[in-house]
Structure 1
Amino acid sequence: MNIRGSLIITGIVIVAMAVASVWAFFQPGPHEVPVHWGLSGEPDRYASRLNALVSLPLVALAISAILAIAGKVDPRRANIERSGPAYRIAWLGTLGMLAIGHGVIVATALGQDVPVARIIGAAVGVLLVALGDVIGKSKSNFTVGVRTPWTLSSERSWNKTNRAGGRLFVAIGILGAVSAFLAPPWVTLSIFLGGSIAIAGFSLVYSWIVWREERRGTPG
């Protein structure tokens, strides 16, 4: 899998985040900046201006480095090569989420009132939809996709579980994104958390059922 394009995009995004941080640091604004928001959508944790502005660019750099390396050392690297779209969306989608979060922090550092819950909720929803749309086409690997003991030991279980899980991710993403604009923040968070737990539970059970049917030679 050629990751050059992803590396170029990553470099541009991280440089842009760093430039925004430097610029915002020297602008008028509060000395302490919100870095976490509660279920009500109100800030419940603050950090110094410097820490708030440098944290997410550093996190983005670290996660991007890990993802760039992970695809090269995955024991099923050949399947990673065949799962390029899913891998790139997982990588660049995560990077995009961090960039959006950083944009929110930069805006608050400048004293702007930002609808954080709506922005982040919508962004998470879009990311889940994008991931759900491609993971069903991914091949068995240890880095991207719905990974359970049974999907990793059965190609059939991997394919069926990831296709089903992908559809559920799309549904949860759409529901959560719509909720971000129409419902209180705690509703959106409940959709994402509850949906993620439900998908994890479903994936465990379903992947085992498919694996067991394959072992028994049951068609389906």
Structure 2
Amino acid sequence: MTRPRLTLLDTVTVVMVVVIATLAVWVAVAGPTGPIAMHFDLQGRPDRWGDRREMAGLLAFMTAMTALTAGAMSWYARRSDDPSRRRGLEIGQLIALLAIGGTTAILWTAILGQSSVGAGAEATTGWTMALMGAIFVATGAFLGRVAPNPLIGVRTPWSFKSRRAWDRSNRLAGRLFFWLGLATLIAAPLVPQPAGFVTLTAAVLIAAAWSVFESWRVWKSDPDRQPF
């Protein structure tokens, strides 16, 4: 079965690349002339400032990441003759779009929106935390169905040597990040900062470490695993 020249996901990829690139050009040409907050402490206060050229460069980097990551997943899918693997790679493309698009939204709201020293506004940490929760929910909902690839998912030496380890570790990671994201969405407007971000960071690290351990555990017990 021949894959269409341009799928819906490919169209979304192109649109996202154009949108983020347009934002980068706009910031470079007509963005704020004053300092732009480029980094925030755990309490949401700006602790490093840059200018519009730095912000434009950051958005240009996100443009390249979208084109390279989502484009590469599309390329892998086109080369696959296995319909099941093709669908799994397309899911990886979707995850890349969700993650990068959400990250760009966080940059736009949490950095560019707090662009002036004179404004004296703190970063909207609750809103940023909610966006992060939404990214975790969206990516976690699909992560368990992504096919083996070098860009998206729980990519460990053991998951690449065992399809069973790949599937189980990614399903676990998907469940963990989905429920973590849901809890983050609920807690974002309620939890005090910086306790919220500290707790979220610790939870993400635990979920990632657990998923890596799961890939090793399943590989070790898989009779069909490939040796190193």
TM-score for both structures, normalised by structure 2: 0.79
Alpha-carbon shift at residue 12 of structure 1 (Å): 4.0
Aligned to 1:191: 199
Name segments (4+ residues, structure 1) moved above 6 Å.
Answer: none
Residue number among 19, 44, 47 corresponding to 1:44 in the alignment: 47
Distance 1:186 1:100, change over 3 A: same
Q: Match for residue 9 of structure 1?
A: 15
Q: Distance in 2 between matches of 1:9 and 1:112?
A: 35
1:135 paired with 2:143, answer: yes
User: 1:25 is matched by which residue type in structure 2?
Assistant: P
Q: Distance in 2 between matches of 1:103 and 1:17?
A: 13
Aligned residue-pair number: 212
Question: How far did residue 75 of structure 1 move?
Answer: 11
Match in the other structure for 2:63: 61
What's 2:180 paired with?
Answer: 172
Q: Which ranges in structure 2 are unaligned for 5 or more consecutive residues?
A: none
What SS does the aligned partner of 2:47 have?
A: strand
Q: Does 1:25 align with 2:32?
A: yes
> How far apart, CA to CA, are the structure 2 residues paired with 1:66 and 1:100?
20
Alpha carbons 2:77, 2:87 under 8 Å: kept = no
Question: Identity over the aligned pairs, expressed in percent?
Answer: 27
How well do the aligned residues superpose, as a CA RMSD in angstroms? 2.9
Instruction: Give the TM-score normalised by the residue count of structure 1.
Output: 0.81
Give the Cα–Cα distance (whole angstroms) in 1 for the partners of residues 17 and 224 of structure 2: 49
1:99 to 78, 102, 105: 105
Cα offset, 1:204, TM superposition = 2.4
Q: 1:36·1:43 contact (CA, 8 Å) conserved in 2? A: yes
**How far did 1:194 drift?**
1.1
What is the deviation of 1:74? 5.7
Residue 83 of structure 1 is aligned with which of 89, 100, 111? 89
